């Protein structure tokens, strides 16, 4: 069998080197969103690195192979000071903003989905329009998703390996 060649190395996805700058509120929203997609039976990863050197807050993979990216916004200031999310769009079939129930929804772009979250769960407030990831990119991303998920599980079960 030929070795699997990917445009990244899962070994570089070091959990210890991830930024610890996520606010408490963002962590709570992330937890709620993760529970929503777990209940749907979808795979979820946080802080997923993209080939364009960006790192998404949450990426999900449905049983049908649909990738969703969720950008968690803990405040209006957080939303207004960050436009990196636009670089995530080529890597997902669906794109959502996850916010708390007191977030002013009218400032969010109209053509993307909205998830309302808290520390217990989340709900899709507004569905997003579906786009399609290019075929080669989808295959590469599916492999990356699987390898990163596997490595993270291995790091939990044997952190000193």
Distance CA 57, CA 160 (A): 26
Q: How confident is the model at residue 41 (pLDDT cuts 50, 70, 90)?
A: very high
For 22-157, CATH number out of 3.30.2310, 3.30.1360, 1.10.730, 3.40.1350 equals 3.40.1350
> Is the pLDDT confidence value at 14 over 50?
no
Q: What is the mean pLDDT of residues 89-115?
A: 97
Q: What is the mean pLDDT of residues 90-94?
A: 97
In this prediction, residue 23 carries a pLDDT of 87
Q: What is the mean pLDDT of residues 104-133?
A: 95
What region, left, alpha or beta, does residue 34 occupy, with left being phi > 0 and alpha being psi -120 to 50 degrees?
A: alpha
In this prediction, residue 111 carries a pLDDT of 93
Domains of the chain by residue range: 22-157
Q: How confident is the model at residue 15 (pLDDT cuts 50, 70, 90)?
A: very low
In this prediction, residue 21 carries a pLDDT of 62
Tokens 């890597």, located at residue: 91
pTM, two decimal places: 0.86
- The string of DSSP codes covering 58-105 is EEEE-TT--EEEEEE--SHHHHHT--GGGGTGGG-SEEEEEE-TTS-G
Q: How confident is the model at residue 78 (pLDDT cuts 50, 70, 90)?
A: very high
Across the chain, mean pLDDT equals 89
Contact 115/124 with Cβ under 8 angstroms? yes
> Is the pLDDT confidence value at 101 over 90?
yes
């Amino acid at each position: 069998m030929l070795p699997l060649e990917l445009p990244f190395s899962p070994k570089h996805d070091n959990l210890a080197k991830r930024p610890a700058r996520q606010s408490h509120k963002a962590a709570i929203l992330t937890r709620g969103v993760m529970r929503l997609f777990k209940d749907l039976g979808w795979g979820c990863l946080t802080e997923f690195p993209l080939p364009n050197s960006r790192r998404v807050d949450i990426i999900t993979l449905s049983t049908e192979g649909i990738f969703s990216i969720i950008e968690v916004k803990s405040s209006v200031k957080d939303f207004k000071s960050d436009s990196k999310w636009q670089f995530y769009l080529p890597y997902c079939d669906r794109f959502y903003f996850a916010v708390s129930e007191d977030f002013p929804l009218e400032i969010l772009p109209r053509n993307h989905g909205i998830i309302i979250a808290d520390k217990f769960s989340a709900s899709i407030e507004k569905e997003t329009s579906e786009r399609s990831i290019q075929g080669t990119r989808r295959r590469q991303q599916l492999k990356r998703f699987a390898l990163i998920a596997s490595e993270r599980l291995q790091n939990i079960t044997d952190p000193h390996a």
